[in-house]
Amino acid sequence: MILPRILILVCLFSSCVSFPLIQDKLNSYTKQKYLHTISRISLPPDPAPEAVSPSYNVHSGSSITTFNVQSFGAIGDGVTDDTQAFKMAWDTACQAEKSGILLVPKGYSFMIQSTIFTGPCKSGITFQAPNGDSLPSVCDSPVAIRFFMSSNLTLQGLEVKNSPKFHLRFDVCQYVDIELLNINSPARSPNTDGIHIENTKNVNIYNSVISNGDDCVSIGAGCYNVDIRNITCGPSHGISIGSLGIRNSQACVSNITVSDSVIRHSDNGVRIKTWQGGLGSVSKVTFHNIYMDTVRNPIIIDQYYCLTKNCPNQTSAVSISDILYSNIKGTYDVRSPPMRFACSDSLPCTNLTLSEVELHPIKAQVLSNPICWNAYGTMQTLTIPPVFCLLEGMPQSMQQSDFAGC
């Protein structure tokens, strides 16, 4: 069930975590060969600010009750297991009639095992702790922090470092506001997605800095109404929708916007990736005002996603339609084409729209040609490089049953 005004938290503290606060111009063109040279690149969007810690004095009213973990037996000597004291403090705050603050005081080292804080609670709770790193753990916990079946959830000013896998994960949540986060792990650390959402809707991710070994933000199946804005991403694998449709599963994703962001020194920029054999659809996606700084694959749709290179060909696929790329500019690594639209043989990508796209090689003076396969769309303006490989109009037949139900 969806829990009103409740935060459900799974904390697996083998990573280092700090908790400040948890609360046209329309150009005509002809299809011919061009030799483009480097031209002046338009100014990028403003980079995202460094994540900062909000004030601890946010709640000053007398109606707020403070639940200090030390009042429930937490020692904080760096040796004693304080897990039960934290759980007791949470449970007490959860059952309180009025909103409260679960306070972790400064100057102590609290030892916490993998912990689940559950609800439903009678009122809102703020989890407040000082800046600082948790002590490293020998446990191989997969996710630093996970939120499950939570509603009206706010994360602000959180810093997460060196998670063994996903830094933050949201499953079956709604009305999620994420802002002023700083997420950091080594560029070669696998599967360390910064923020991953799955079966989650009405999400805002703003004003954050993410550097890791996988996707800065990854959007899984069942996500709707997601707004990602003013993100500084990289080094990383960029911002991704997917992977979707693994093991012939259904995936429905729509109303996604990524805007006003910078992606630098990353394997990918903005990406949609699906497995063969899946069902469902990705639709109504906008990538707008994004600056690429030395990105290997700035724009990519891959409907043949496979980790082993031995995946069998399958006819069904997740449908991809109504995708807008607008005002995307910057530089790319010449090892790969700047744009690749590899769409399903049986279910083409449709209504792909490109406007004001300028992507230049970081070193070479001659642009690489984009790659298209079974991709239908238009250039509203002449892109650099031009995407003449897009097919015009709509395919004669579409297997509607493959994506029905979304």
Point out the residues that are catalytic: 237
Q: Are 100 and 65 in contact (CB under 8 A)?
A: yes
DSSP 45: P
Return d(Cα 84, Cα 72) in angstroms, integer: 9
Return d(Cα 150, Cα 383) in angstroms, integer: 42
Provide the pairing of β-strand 9-11 with 115-117.
Answer: antiparallel
Q: Are 318 and 220 in contact (CB under 8 A)?
A: no
In the three-class reduction of DSSP (H, G, I as helix; E, B as strand; rest coil), residue 88 is classed as helix
Return d(Cα 119, Cα 346) in angstroms, integer: 46
In the three-class reduction of DSSP (H, G, I as helix; E, B as strand; rest coil), residue 397 is classed as coil
Give alpha helix (H) positions in 164-260: none
Q: Are 277 and 245 in contact (CB under 8 A)?
A: yes
Q: Which of 304, 278, 334 is nearest to 38 (CA)?
A: 334
Q: Which of 252, 230, 248 is nearest to 239 (CA)?
A: 230
Q: What is the DSSP string of 55-108?
A: PTTS--STTPEEEEGGGGT---EEEEE-HHHHHHHHHHHHH-SS-EEEE--TT-
Query: b or e along 113-126 (b: 16 or more beta carbons within 10 Å of the residue's beta carbon)?
Result: eebebbbebbbbbb
Return d(Cα 171, Cα 201) in angstroms, integer: 10
Return d(Cα 233, Cα 194) in angstroms, integer: 10
Q: Which of 180, 242, 236, 240 is nearest to 212 (CA)?
A: 236
Number of Cβ atoms within 10 Å of the Cβ of 80 = 14
Q: Are 134 and 11 in contact (CB under 8 A)?
A: no
Who contacts 32 (Cβ-Cβ below 8 Å, separation ≥6)? none
Q: Name the residue with tokens 């250039």.
A: 379
Provide the pairing of β-strand 201-211 with 223-233.
Answer: parallel
Number of Cβ atoms within 10 Å of the Cβ of 380 = 18
